[in-house]
Amino acid sequence: MTESGKVATVSLEGKTASLPVHSGTLGPDVLDIRKITADLGVFTFDPGYGETASCTSKITFIDGDKGVLLHRGYPIAQLAEQATFTEVAYLLLNGELPTSTEHDSFVETLKSHTLLHEQIRNFFNGFRRDAHPMAILCGTVGALSAFYSDANDISNAASRNLSAVRLIAKLPTIAAWAYKYTQGEAFIYPRNDLTYAENFLSMMFAHPSEPYKVNPILARAMDRILILHADHEQNASTSTVRMAGSTGANPFACVAAGIAALWGPAHGGANEAVLKMLAKIGSKENIPEFIAQVKDKNSGVRLMGFGHRVYKNFDPRAKIMQATCHEVLGELGIKDDPLLDLAVDLEKIAIHDEYFVKRSLYPNVDFYSGIILKAMGIPTSMFTVLFALARTTGWISQWKEMIEEPGQRISRPRQLYTGSPERDFVPLAKRG
């Protein structure tokens, strides 16, 4: 953040405040309002913080109008098409892409931390078998702090780095075991001869009774899904991680808080909502009627998986996910799944329908990722878990950046109070 040299002057009831204007590398300038209360005696009002920069960050930049998403300056399309998830994880954590030697060392370090403490294995037995996998994930990640007390020393750089590695390495194991537990199947331990994505698929679908061979097309698809969900600037869950972290809480607790925020259907459950929408449509013959209902503002029917709160153009992640989706469907030879056929037809109609084109309601990353995950045999209850698995890298990178920021302060939003004014207490006997 740099001083632009510009100053905005705001006057209110005879008082004047001079607000410095700061410039970032990219994006609009921001007004520094930190002295507005002292100078004018007022707070600012911004529900949802949609117009407020809550921090400085060097990790991710989004220009929603232009459909741009950069990680440390690199376009998401280049990363998804040419890099691996572990390269992107290193980039988010350290600011630069790794050299071959650095990447090999990073991958080996991750592999040395994929195993869970055996007592954590017993921890799973405390959950009901019909528990939602997100409940298991949230509880187990939070419980990691009970096993790694060194994580409490957040002032120590080595401790922060070790916590970051532990989280990125162990999330696939916890996520896969959450699925296995709900299915009543045996836990599969990590394999160090596999890549990050391959290892996760192995722990999800392998069985002790027979060998499991990872399909390279599916592994690459999973790797791309992880890359495309790794970080997305200051969204609800990332802001939650930062807010929890500002209190000095240990990183496992902070990421557990992020998982809880991601669990909400308005955030991490969007791809699951796509499949529910498709199931409700039922068949290709019902698409025209459904489209008509979507266009009718009074119907209350929404087109899930199209458009995005941030992107007013095509979601840059969706283009890669679209190609990946068709690769997966082709590899698996899926031609007779009614739900997937329905999704393909709906995609074709919406892309060319003038109503949706005018409103920039293009398919987003959630539309395609839900189709891919279903095709791969991953149940809808695991969709948000997969999201959390990918986003953990972004969360812990954002957490580290925040902790290492000079002058970092505890988060403390203000409010516009609309309750009763001060009043006197009335004893119970006199309240009628």
Residue numbers annotated as active site: 308, 366
Residues sharing a CB contact under 8 Å with residue 102, sequence separation 6 or more, in sequence order? 90
